[in-house]
Every structure is written in C-alpha cells, then in structure tokens.
Structure 1
Amino acid sequence: MKIKRLGILAILLSVSSPYLFAQNLTSHPSNLFAADDAKLISSDFSFTEGCSVDKNGNVFFTDQPNDKIWKYSTDGNLSIFLDKAGRANGTYFDKKGNLITCADEKGQLWSISPSGKVKVIMNDLDGKQFNGPNDIWIHPNGDMYFTDPYYQRDYWTRTSPDLKSDDVYYLAKGSKKPKIAADGLVKPNGIVGTPDGKYLYVSDINAGKTYKYAIEKNGELTGKQLIINKGSDGMTLDEKGNVYLTLGQGVFIYNPAGELIAELKIKDGPSNVCFAGKDRNILFITARKTIYTLPMKVKGVE
C-alpha cells in the first residue's frame, strides 16, 4: 500500500505544548513523569481517537470525521496508513500484526493487514446492525471484547438503533458470532484488559463508573467490581497496574486500588491514550484535533 507523507505536519513536531499540564498529585505521589516534558505533535485533524501501538512501537490512530487511519512512527513521522477506513474508532493490534478496528460506519469489525488489506471479521448480531463498535481489547489467547454504545452519527442514514441496549460483547477467536459479555450498563465505552488475561476494565462513561471484571476460561465476565467513580472514553494500563482514563479535559491516572495518583490537564479534551515508542515509555494522547506525547518513567503493557 502506498503511504502518503504530510510535510506540513512536520512543522509542528516537538513543539512544547501550552495546552497540556502534567501533575503528580501529592496526596498519592506517583512520580510517573516529568511535568515539563509534554509535547504537542500536531493539531491538524478533526477528531482523533482509537490509538494503539504495533510491535515496533509505532502508533496508529483514527481521525473519524475524515475517515482516515494515521501512523505516527517511532522516528516522529506522520503518514496516512489507510484512507476510507470504515469510519474507524477504537483499534487494537492482534499477534499477527493486523490492526483490528471498530468500523463504526456499518457496525463492523475489520482486520487490516500491515499492507492495508481489509477483511471484515464481524458484520452483525443475528441480522441486526450493531449500535457502533467503539473500543476493543484483544485477550492474549486471541478472543476479543468490544463496547457497543449508540452515538448518532451525521454520516449514517439510520436514525435509531437495531439493538435495544448498549452492551459489551465477546467474540471468540475464529468465530463470527459475538455474544453479550456484560449488560446492564448505561453506555459502555473505554475497555482494556490486563496482560495476563485475567481481568477486564470497562468504563460506563454516562454512569461515571469504571468496573473491573474477572475473565473466565470460557470467556465469560464475572465478579463485576466498581473500581473507580469516573467514566472514560479511551483507556490503558501501565506496568504497575495503574489505570489511565480519558474524560473531559484530562487524563486521570489511578493506582490498582482506585486512588487518583496523577492527572494530565488537556485543554483540547482527550479521547484516548496508549504507550508508544520502542520501549513503550512514551504516553501518546489523542485529543480532538490534536495529538500529544509525554515521556514516562513507567512502561505500557498493551
């Protein structure tokens, strides 16, 4: 696949950002980052989302209104990875290096090869279109979990959902038949699992809650536990088990006990976050029209 370079954006690389303030809180000190190292990488998008990192540390993220997936390489270059991306939202890499995307345009899941070849891996639920797959996490064994909230899009022809509720779904490896993994939520959005595959975090953004579930061997979710009294759009974890939530004008970092230990105040309003770079020690943040990076003293686990 031909990759396009966007020279204009290179001008904005490595510019110190006046719109991001990083703070390690004194009540629960974290020392996760240096407060003056945040950088604005670019502000030339419409609405950035769905960032995830490949095995080499490159970040892929979506610009949903413009229907594109971008790549931010470890050497600081921005390029278009895929145009006409099915209005991709959340993304995650599988073990084969394919980018699994929540293709919101028709309520599908796509698998995109490193060369940009698209394969639809999930279409509907018993003939009914999904609300709009939003965010996704892949278990170490290849099983997938994704959230499916309904947000009316201006590029849709439909004006109401086929499904009666907004739920979390489970798609077993190799299967095309998803099933409900968690229901009873108002509007599930952000989702991320632990690297050992034992636990799954799900954010109910409209209820202002983030829950932790145990993942059973058959893929079922049990032991729902309220862990944080805050909702989130995108989410990630670091090597210490800290949970990173994006909501409003901040990235909020909680320790495994659910205590707020640090926050990043971002004027643009963050939508998602992941750890980038060859050593997974750079926090990459999508925030509406912008993207930011922040060197960290911890590493990511996704």
Structure 2
Amino acid sequence: MIISEGVGFEVIEQEYKMLFAPHIHVERLWTGARWCEGPAWFAAGRYLVWSDIPNNRMMRWDETDGSVSVFRAPSNFSNGNTVDRQGRLVSCEHLTRRVTRTEHDGSVIVLADSFEGKRLNSPNDVVVSSDGSIWFTDPFYGIATDYEGKVCPLEQDGCHVYRIDPQGGIDRVADDFVQPNGLAFSPDERFLYIADTGITHQEDGPAHIRRFEVGENGRLSGGSVFATSTSGLYDGFRIDREGRVWTSSAEGVHCIRPDGVMIGKIRIPEIVANVTFGGAMRNRLFICGTTSLYSVYVFTNGTTPG
C-alpha cells in the first residue's frame, strides 16, 4: 500500500506492515537546500545537523520548536556527518579533503587529511565503532567539480576506505571500490556495509552495497554484494536493531532484510541521499531529500547515536 499519492509506505513483503501504522505519514520538516546529505542526530540537544553541500553550509533542525538555522557556514563543503560515543560531531569535508571532529567547546580538530604522505581525495561518509575507531570512505566526488568542492588532482592511487584507530593511526581497509560511499555497522558490529556508487563515473559501474566481516584490529574480509539498487543509487544508509538496512535511493528509502531481500519502501518525492535514526527513542527516521529534510516514525529503532 502507498499512503497519499506516491508519498509514504509501500509494502513488498508482508512483514514490512509491522514496521508502521496506516495513520503514520511522511513529514517535510524544511526545504530550501541544493543537495542535502549527512544527517546526524544529537540526542542531548534534541537537534539534527546535516550538510547542504553546494551551498557550503551545515543546517540545524531543532526538535523542540521545529526551527531551522545555519549551524556552520562556510562548512568546507561538508558531506557525511556522525556523532561519536562522546557526543561530538565528526564530519567529512570536501574542500579541505579531511575528516574533522568538533569538540564540546566548538573547536575543530583534524583527524585525517592524508595517507602515506598524500592528500586524501574528498572524504564522503563516516561512522564510529564502539571501540572508538572511525571509519570513512574517500571517493573523488569533491575534487571532480567546483560544485561540491574544488577541482584538484587525485593524489591517492584510487578511491578507498580507511580506519582511524583510537590512537589516531590511519589504515586503508578496503581498496577494491570504484566510488566508496555510505557505510554502517550491523548491530553487533560483526559486519560493515559499504556502498559503491561507481556507476556515476563508470559505465555499467557498481550501484550496490557490499557486506564485509570485521575481524581483529579492523581487518575486513568477504565483501560480497549485499544488495543492488533498483532505483538510482544506494548512497547513504543506517541499520536498525534487527539488522535491516534503511538506504537512500532515487525514489525514497528502501528497507532491506539482513538476507538482502527488499521488504518495503518509503516513497519520497525527491532523490534521497542519506538517512539517520533519531528522536528520543531513535524510532524517527530523518531523510535527506535533494532539497528538503523529511521524517517519519517507524516501529523499530536505530542502533547507534547519530
């Protein structure tokens, strides 16, 4: 079933009906961006921060009164954001080609801007594991045009995935992607899911999510294709407590079981780039459409902060 003219829940497998009620509807909370990305939920302050990349700013939505304000401008064309286990903002920046952390006092420190003496491409998305390590993807989108960054030469030998260990050391953990993009851990952190959106720059390139097993000291193995997009790209995503993947697509949000079967969709009238769980119970899915921020309540919960 689809609620209200192409916007709302679409059931593919009957089990999806258990994740919402018929009266729940998608809300558009704000509009006015060029390309929304990287939502991150701050539980203590009851607000959401996200990136409006081409406008070189980060926005802030306040749950207490519904107001929207500019959180940071310029933002160095920030893209993906998350919240670490200490409640600090971790961001990927295209312009400066780095991953940063905003401390509680507002100061910004650089976590990574190079690997083996060469500048990173343009960090895209980021997650933090329970041991404090920070994992991020590094495609070249931010240095390919001046629209979401600045045209610059590629210094790395490709587009890869990296891990910053709790002591600050940086390792390359995956090097067989075309354009690594969104990433998220399974609830028990046994698996790391990573999107590859290489079809944007390679004919017949990948438009899928891969699943890796996470070993000791962050070593990855496996990496088989978990799900392939049937509508545009699987860009950014988050995972609920049952291991279901809620991922962006050209038609909204796809909900995929841990076995790779799509069970339903949330139809959104814009291309969706990223999502995150938030709210007091982490049962509110925040959705970054192209120009707008949406939300919808679901009968499940996100597994991690931000």
TM-score normalized by the length of structure 1: 0.88
Q: Quote the Cα distance in structure 1 between the aligned partners of 2:53 and 2:6.
A: 22
Structure-to-structure mapping, 1:32-51, within 5 angstroms: 32-34=19-21, 36-51=24-39
1:215 aligned partner, one-letter code = V
**Equivalent residue, structure 1, for 2:58:** 69
Check whether the contact 1:98–1:113 (CA below 8 A) recurs between aligned residues: yes
2:27 alignment partner AA? K
Alignment of structure 1 residues 175-254 onto 2, 5 Å: 175=168, 177-206=169-198, 207-230=206-229, 231-254=233-256
Give, in angstroms, the shift of residue 31 of structure 1: 2.7
**Distance verdict in 2 for CA 1:23–1:99, change over 3 Å:** same
Give 1:132 shift: 0.7
- Tell me what 1:280 maps to: 282
> Cα RMSD between the aligned structures?
2.0
Mapping 1:154-193, distance limit 5 Å: 154=146, 156-175=149-168, 177-193=169-185
What is the alpha-carbon distance in structure 1 between the residues aligned to residue 4 and residue 171 of structure 2?
A: 43
State the Cα distance separating 1:115 from its structure 2 match. 4.4
**Could you tell me which of 110, 118, 121 is aligned with 2:108?**
118
**Mapped contact 1:253–1:262 kept (Cα < 8 A):** yes
How many residues end up aligned between the 2 structures?
A: 286
2:90 matches 1:100: yes
- Three-state SS of the structure 1 residue aligned to 2:18 is coil
Amino acid at match of 1:50: G
How much has 1:201 moved relative to structure 2?
Answer: 0.4
Q: What's the offset of the Cα at 1:205? A: 1.9
Gaps of 5+ in 2: 199-205
Aligned equivalents of 2:31, 2:158: Cα separation in 1: 35
Deviation of 1:250 after TM superposition, in Å, equals 2.1
SS in 1 for 2:96: coil
Alpha-carbon separation, structure 2, partners of 1:258 and 1:141: 27
Task: Give 1:18 shift.
Answer: 6.4
Amino acid of the structure 2 residue aligned with 1:262? G
User: Which whole-Å CA distance do the structure 2 matches of 1:74 and 1:123 have between them?
Assistant: 33
Tell me the distance in 1 between the aligned counterparts of 2:150 and 2:254.
36
Q: Which residue of 1 aligns with 2:8?
A: 21
Amino acid of the residue matched to residue 48 of structure 1? C
How many Å separate the matches in 2 of 1:142 and 1:26?
A: 37
One-letter amino acid matched to 1:226: V
Report whether the alignment pairs 1:31 with 2:24: no
Q: How far does residue 30 in structure 1 lie from its aligned partner after superposition?
A: 4.2
Q: How far apart, CA to CA, are the structure 1 residues paired with 2:42 and 2:214? A: 24
Conserved? CA contact 1:24–1:32, under 8 Å? no
TM-score by length of 2: 0.87
- Is the Cα–Cα contact under 8 Å of residues 17 and 39 in structure 1 kept in the other structure? no
CA distance in structure 1 between the partners assigned to 2:20 and 2:226 by the alignment: 24
